[in-house]
Amino acid sequence: MNSKMEVAKKIKGRDAHLGIIGWFYAGRYWLERYAYIVHRITGLAMILYLVLHIFVVGERAKGQEAWNAMMSKIQSPLFEFLEFLLLVAFIVHALNGLRLILIELGFFVGKPSRPKYPYRTSISKQRPLVYLIMLVGAFFIVVSIYEFFKLGGGQ
C-alpha cells in the first residue's frame, strides 16, 4: 500500500488525530490554542462538580439533619480551596466562552475577503480580545482571592 493510501485510510478511520497529547500541543496556534486547552480542562472540572453538586444539594430535600451532616463532611479547608479553584475555573471558562461566542458571531475576525496569496490571517484581529479577557479574568480572580479568603477582614 502506498503512503497516500495509508494516510487516507488513517483519516477515514480518524486515527490521524493526536489524541489527548494533542491538547497540550499548541504548535503555531499559540495563545488561542492554550485558551482552548484551559477551556476544556475547566469545563471538565465544572461538569464533574455539577454532578456532585446535584447530589450534595439534593440532601436538603431530606431535611435539616441530613443537610447539616452533609455540610459537616464537606466543610474543610481542602474543600474550601477546591471551591475557590472552581470559582477561578468558572471565571476563566466564562470569559473565554464569551470570547468564543463573539468570534462565532463574526466579531473580532475582520471582514471576509477572497483567499488570495499572500493569505491574510485574522489572528491580529482576534489577539487583542484574548489579551482583554486575560486582563478582565486576572481582575476578577484578584477580587475573588480578596473576598473569598477575607483578606480585608470580616467573617
Would you tell me which residues interact with another protein (CB under 8 A)?
13-15, 17, 19-20, 40, 43-44, 46-47, 50-51, 54-55, 57-58, 60-61, 63-64, 67-68, 71, 75, 83-84, 87, 90, 94, 97-98, 100-101, 104, 143-144, 147-148, 154-155
Residue 131 CB, shortest distance to another protein, in Å, is 20
Nearer to another protein, 51 or 138 (CB): 51
CB 109 within 8 A of CB 126: yes
What is the three-class DSSP state of 58? helix
Decide: residue 96, CB within 10 A, 0-12 exposed, 13-18 middle, 19+ buried: buried
Residue 51 CB, shortest distance to another protein, in Å, is 7
Task: Using only the alpha carbons of the chain, give its radius of gyration.
Answer: 22
Nearer to another protein, 70 or 123 (CB): 70
Residue 78 CB, shortest distance to another protein, in Å, is 16
Q: CB neighbours (10 Å) of residue 95?
A: 19
Closest to 74 in 3D by CA, of 90, 86, 88: 86
Residue 23 CB, shortest distance to another protein, in Å, is 9
Nearer to another protein, 57 or 120 (CB): 57
What is the three-class DSSP state of 122? coil
Q: Which three cell numbers stand for residue 22?
A: 494533542
Nearer to another protein, 12 or 114 (CB): 12
